[in-house]
Amino acid sequence: VFDHDAQRVADLVTEYNRLFGIDQERSQAVEKEVADSFITKKSGQPDTDAVLKIKALIRWSEAKAGAIEVGCREEHLHFLDLPFYRTGTIAKRPIGDEDVAIIRELVERVRPAQVYVAGDLSDPHGTHRMCAEAIFRALNEIERDTGSRPEVLLYRGAWQEYEAHEIEIAVPLSPNDLLKKRQAIFMHESQKDEALFPGSDPREFWQRAEDRNKGTADRFNQIGLPEFFAIEAFVRWNGVPI
């Protein structure tokens, strides 16, 4: 999340509280703390606790809105706030036992039949790979202790697609499906126009995602398979840690 997005939210909350007469003194103090931290912040320095909380709140609200846009119910949403991510800098901590334990507790409580994991293991930020590592470790622990685990399906987001011969499950997408997916991506406003870690591809996330889905459908058609508007591809995790 960009610093200016955090400042915008701090300003918004202060003005909201002013309009409704809600603890203006405290909100103004937080707004000033955030603004001052950006003035004095040097490159590579961690965010203050207040800024960190605001940035986390932004991503929480965006993820929630995106999930609801595609039909998820609010009571089925779970936000883990994993410790490895809470550094306040670009660099994150290595995945630790606490991260794995949090994921394991959720899986054992919800007991899903399938777990979907972002398979963009070479994304520019590296977070997808770290999240996958934590999930795989938790699922391996569950399988070790119980003899079974949920099926795990990997998908690609904004980065390169799986090769056609790697794809194990291909889900056709209609124009309406792809539009719904785009609308969900748009809910992630802080990531939509210019991501903090965009990589070498200048296209926006939604453009990359749609081009990838349409490109997969084109490749399937070229090798003699049925013609579809777009395809979402999945690969089963083989159980090997990363």
Which pLDDT belongs to residue 125? 65
Tokens of 19: 């309009």
pTM (2 decimals)? 0.85
Residues of the chain with pLDDT under 50: none
What is the tens place of the pLDDT at every residue in 143-165? 999 999 999 999 998 778 899 99
Task: Specify the DSSP element, H or E, that contains 69.
Answer: helix 49-69
Number of H-type helices and E-type strands within the chain: 8, 4
One-letter amino acid of 53 = K
Residue 226 is classified by DSSP as P
Instruction: Write the CB contacts of 55 (distance below 8 Å, at least 6 apart in sequence).
Output: 1, 5, 6, 47
Task: Specify the DSSP element, H or E, that contains 117.
Answer: strand 114-118
* Distances from the Cα of 64 to the Cα of 7, 78, 93, 159, 192, angstroms: 21, 9, 25, 22, 15
Q: Cβ(112)–Cβ(153) under 8 Å?
A: no
Which pLDDT belongs to residue 194? 61
Which pLDDT belongs to residue 74? 94
Which pLDDT belongs to residue 41? 86
